[in-house]
Structure 1
């Protein structure tokens, strides 16, 4: 009787998970199919599980947009450097804050928490960036967010869960704190490092507002800013595009939108499966101990 109940529960559980997964994956698949469809396929009502004809016109249109290639490279550069800096500074700050015998530890923690909840606002930040000479400079997109207090708190809490005996043994063997951090703490902290890195990468990849404020040279802007400009420009223009007018067009506004979505989220989707196993563990452990 118990086995029968467990079998029914497992069946219903798998059915519920399958339906939920389908509800999550179908919009993504619909966007993917739409990005490779022509105008006739996109304008047809119904469920689109497969393109009637595979075409890349939407992607050709997107990549023909001015400065799209340089914006893509700028976004990749910003994401890689920005993520590396956030992880680096997060480790340097979280490691000493995880020591209960650190002098004035609570005051330092309170200082970071105040900075996290309160800021000067947009105008003082803009004036600071201007006075530092970072206007129209790619560093203006990276340096202001190099220290992330929320990530520091998560990593500090995670490091506090590590066995202190390992570090004490290394100190007795003559290792310094920097060597302990690089040789022991970092390998043991892969879950939380992957979590922080994933947050930082997604944040940098999707950011566009700071580029709109600080960047004036179109060759230095980022992908999301170009995508925003493109979508706004398309919304204000026609719903069909083509080289020879409406009679020769094979591209709809919905095709372009789908292609821009796939182009902008593609790299993050490829990275997430590799970081997922660390991501879940890192955020759960890092959120338990204060």
Structure 2
């Protein structure tokens, strides 16, 4: 398995930066999984200067971002000739106030991960959670350092889906209803929330209370309402099924939610692919005490 790896300057500039917090927590798992990392120039240089991942032969250096390194990762997410030029997803630790995070290649990296059903991991929490998910699928014992991400009974989950993705969201919730019901609280935007509640009531959820608390629809501000919960550390996981093929009239609201998630990088996990979300639910079942 191979992932692209990039981090904005803030996230590798000091020894306690986000890139190094992730590596300190997950280096054993990275080695256990023999996870290939194709790292853009400055990100690779920062890892080498910190003396991390020494001897990890599947850490590869790519050009600096200004020389096309991030563009090459986008192409490899899509898939290039030869197994060595095929990525299974990307970790891009985003500084929400770094203008390079909205360069075309940065936006394309996320978009192609979504289109191809691959993980796009933009926060420390998401990257840590993904490594633990893959460890569990590999049959490895649970990492007690990742317990915080599986304390579902004390967490809030946000479920959001664009119009074309609502059927997939309802199918996903029906398939993994028991896992999603373990969360202390669930929130959703407008129509998605109503359809999720109807599903829950059909499954025997008490008719006098909602399974998911409904906010406004996305175009009417629901994404911003959920972003506020994320910023206040009152929403720990966001499952956001995006439709990358349509123009989004409320693009700014969606970007606001994505920016909120990256602002609280150590606390918020975000999944944008139905395939990744399903894989996580299976891992949550494997990890259940």
TM-score by length of 1: 0.23
Q: Quick check: which one's strand share is greater?
A: 2
Q: TM-score with structure 2 length normalisation?
A: 0.23
Higher helix share: 1
Please identify the structure whose Cα radius of gyration is greater. Answer: 1
